[in-house]
Structure 1
């Protein structure tokens, strides 16, 4: 899930990305944990909700600073926004920020001479991890918007998780549906991501099956007439 451009990466930018891989990975996990606690902990609970709100704000500042430094070091100007569209979306849309975990892990794998997993296995692993992170983040975001709203069918976090599973898998039972504007926007985005991830997994799995059967056919002895 890397949106790295095909052009050679400037040495200074490559060095910055290498130095900030682990700190940003930890920041992504801290953001997800802080956001989860902020949403799920009861409102009167203090000071945990305030602490988690500060953590979420600090991690966003780290993401913004990293984006600004990479924009400067790339020397691409406005073109950086287009070639690194996923970074831009992650910066602008909070529910997508946990995807930095997958994105940064992918970047770490690029530095390995020989990845531990095959291409097909990596695609399925990244898509599966992205689906889990997206589903959990979208559940938190929708639950935050829908709880306490009149006529809402998503009243508990369990309802939100069920809704996310049905939406990501494009099943759509209709028993849990967002009623707020922002909740429906999140649902539309999750639908699009679900279709993309499902297509990536099924396409990679189908390609793996074709290659496996092709190798088996090559190994079979020729039939005698």
Structure 2
């Protein structure tokens, strides 16, 4: 019964992965238009409808997968923490693009990427998505507050770049509760991403040095490239 539930969940995920990926792009564009198109109320209304519809699609997909898995909600959340996070923050939905790429590679009988390149890809894509969606969120929260130094979208991008890289110059910082909440989340994710990339790169270097050590020097004791 458990295997059958997993197969049904996998079949549902296989059918919906690509359509939901396109829906995530629609959500991201709609959210950007909703925040940035101040002088176009008609486009903002259309974008708002697109955001709502695509978000409902993500919620329905999550609930259907929960039912098909026949697991308790708590266990399902633990096993699918990324999907749970994506339902709460749909702008991160394109993160599943890496998983979709791996599935396409497997279908074409091509080897799966190694662990370290996959970690780097996830981290890079996460940084871009977090940076863009965080910039939109901070700009939306700060732009109407007269105390805030964030007056344009590019001010918000600069603030997010400082936050994600943990540099923190302090020349541009959010002052509203919403803006500071988003910045706090970006700090946490920024440290996690930095740790993941640094750890993966360090592990890769250790493997390279260990492999070179196991190969050892040439048997005749001469240095590489020396004439025989």
Task: With the length of structure 2 as denominator, give the TM-score of the two structures.
Answer: 0.87
1:65 and 2:60 matched: yes
1:43-192 equivalences under 5 Å are: 44-78=39-73, 79-92=75-88, 96-110=89-103, 112=106, 114-192=110-188
CA, structure 1 residues 223+176, in 2 after alignment: closer, same or farther (shift >3 Å)?
A: farther
Further displaced range: 106-115 or 171-180: 106-115
SS at 2:41's partner residue? Answer: coil
**Displacement over 6 Å in runs of 4+:** none
Report the RMSD for the aligned CA atoms in angstroms. Answer: 2.0
1:12 and 2:5 matched: no
Which structure features the higher share of helix residues? Answer: 2
CA, structure 1 residues 83+38, in 2 after alignment: closer, same or farther (shift >3 Å)?
A: same
CA–CA distance in structure 2, aligned partners of residues 73 and 54 of structure 1? 29
CA–CA distance in structure 2, aligned partners of residues 186 and 176 of structure 1? 14
Structure 1: state its 5+ residue gaps: 1-6
Q: CA deviation at 1:103?
A: 2.2
Further displaced range: 10-19 or 44-53: 44-53
Structure 2: state its 5+ residue gaps: 223-228
Further displaced range: 107-116 or 178-187: 107-116
SS at 2:169's partner residue? Answer: coil
**Higher RCO (C-alpha under 8 Å, 6+ residues apart):** 1
Q: CA deviation at 1:224?
A: 4.1
CA, structure 1 residues 222+164, in 2 after alignment: closer, same or farther (shift >3 Å)?
A: farther
For residues 194-217 of structure 1, the C-alpha deviation after alignment (integer angstroms, 9 at most, x for no partner) is 011111111111111111222222
For residues 106-142 of structure 1, the C-alpha deviation after alignment (integer angstroms, 9 at most, x for no partner) is 2541562544532111110110111000110000000
**Looking at CA atoms only, which structure, 1 or 2, has the larger radius of gyration?**
2
CA–CA distance in structure 1, aligned partners of residues 142 and 171 of structure 2? 14
Further displaced range: 150-159 or 108-117: 108-117
Query: Contact 1:28/1:59 (CA < 8 Å) preserved in 2?
Result: yes
Task: With the length of structure 1 as denominator, give the TM-score of the two structures.
Answer: 0.88
